[in-house]
Amino acid sequence: MLKTNLLSIVIISGLLSACGFHVPKNNTAVNASITGDVNSAFASEFKKHLDVNSAPSLRVNIGAEVQNTRSTAYKNNGDTSSYMLTLSVPIKVIRGQELLLSKNLTATTTLKEMELSQANTLQTTHGFAQLRKTVASKLLRILTQLNAN
């Protein structure tokens, strides 16, 4: 039994190494100078993920975020039971004088069973905060790829 387990481990690790599986080695921190709407909630969220100790090699122009709330379902009495929240942020990434990327980064989520107006406001506010984090993560992945090139 012990020899079978050992043989299985050797075979599996051999297959994984043969197919190119490896732990990512490039974990360099990203820093960028931010222009545009620098005092927005999205810019504040994005700044939390930047490494201030490294020199900025990219410039990120952040546009005004667009929040869209749309009701998606109704109960029998006509009250809205769920909302679809969409957050879109226009982004331009520039290195020197060269425009590397111009894109609207978007994230969407659905909030269900919303009944009281105060709960709606709190859930919506929290939902948009989560969407900002999602869009910031997308932007960080993009900047990491652009920084590697």
Instruction: Please tell me the predicted confidence (pLDDT) of residue 138.
Output: 92
Instruction: Please tell me the predicted confidence (pLDDT) of residue 12.
Output: 80
* CB neighbour list of residue 45: distance below 8 Å, 6 or more residues apart: 129, 132, 133, 136
* Residue 35 predicted with pLDDT over 90: no
Instruction: Please tell me the predicted confidence (pLDDT) of residue 24.
Output: 54
User: Percentage of the chain surpassing pLDDT 90?
Assistant: 23
Residue 106 phi, psi (nearest 5): -130, 145
What confidence category does residue 116 fall into, taking pLDDT thresholds of 50, 70 and 90? Answer: very low
Q: Rounded mean pLDDT of 48-54?
A: 80
What confidence category does residue 2 fall into, taking pLDDT thresholds of 50, 70 and 90? Answer: confident
Question: Which span out of 2-16, 52-66, 92-106, 111-125 was modeled with the highest average pLDDT?
Answer: 92-106
* CB neighbour list of residue 66: distance below 8 Å, 6 or more residues apart: 87, 88, 89
Tokens representing 140? 């960080």
